[in-house]
Amino acid sequence: MSYSVAVVGATGAVGSTMIASLQEQGFPVSQLHLLATARSAGSEYAWNGQMLKVQDIESFDWTGVQVALFAGGEIASEKLVPRAKAAGAISIDNSASFRMHADVPLVVPEVNPEALRQHQKIIANPNCSTIQMVAALKPFLDLGLKRVTVSTYQSVSGTGKDAIEELENLTRAWARGEQAGHKVYPAPIAFNCLPQIGSFLEDGFTGEERKMMEETRKILSLPDLRITATCVRVPVFYGHSESVHIELERPCTVAEAEERLSKMAGVQVQKAGPGPTPLQAAHQDDVLVGRIRIDPSVENGLQFWVVADNLRKGAASNAVQIACKMLEMKLL
């Protein structure tokens, strides 16, 4: 059986990667609808040997669509996901709009696939940094995960195409000895680090940090997990990196940690060398883990370095993997 699939935000960085991922993962598509705003309507994308035109999302008729992949941002999702649901489609949404709704599964297929059985036509794709971290945390749950401290180093592609272009322009201007303005971030991102992703909240955390903490608790079904995060934007085009420190109830050696992570689906372990880099993670769906070592500052502590392609595993590929997992579980 094949399915009628719609991709919302098809012309953006995540949406276009979703289109590629549908082909790469072999999801059975009978009809593909590419949807975007009126500004992008009419542009064409290659799909299975034919050219498909992007349609205006506002005038699109959802009748007959079975699976909808949303990559259009929170405003679009809040408006359009209910339309898709009313027409009978299952929506897999990449925005933050529904992630913390009690009746919406928040899913990383390798980590908590059983949550999909509770869906009511809407499944949320987690935050990009959350996805790669929980994939690395899952192998240690049976040892009693007590506490997580994470610092992220997130690429500009997580912000979008305008941020990618701004980093390019600032870098070229610097090489020419010229000045260039910045609009996307509150300070120039080239050759810089910005310890703010999202708006600041009353408690001093940012929205991105709050997402990581709350989403991790939900995905791992650990509502009382002690977790804290610091999220930093860095001048890297693609790929998010994380320094993760965990405290366990029971001890775990480095060799055992490596073995546990090696057995985790979708995770590659690097046992030697300086540790995986964003360039190594680019254009693949696996989460790369290295620099695994004992954290001597706490009892039963481990620390490691986690890297993934934020547009793929952190967004588009995870959404398509959810659809594939639902097919495997006979939930479509």
**Which residues does the annotation mark as catalytic?**
128, 240
Cα–Cα distances in Å, from 263 out to 161, 259, 307, 308, 318? 35, 6, 17, 18, 19
Answer yes or no: are the C-beta atoms of 167 and 161 closer than 8 Å: no
Per-residue DSSP letter, 99:
T
3-class DSSP state of 325? helix
3-class DSSP state of 46? strand
3-class DSSP state of 89? coil
Burial of residue 162, with CB atoms counted within 10 A of its CB: 0-12 exposed, 13-18 middle, 19 or more buried:
exposed
CA neighbours closer than 13 Å in the CB half-sphere of residue 218:
24
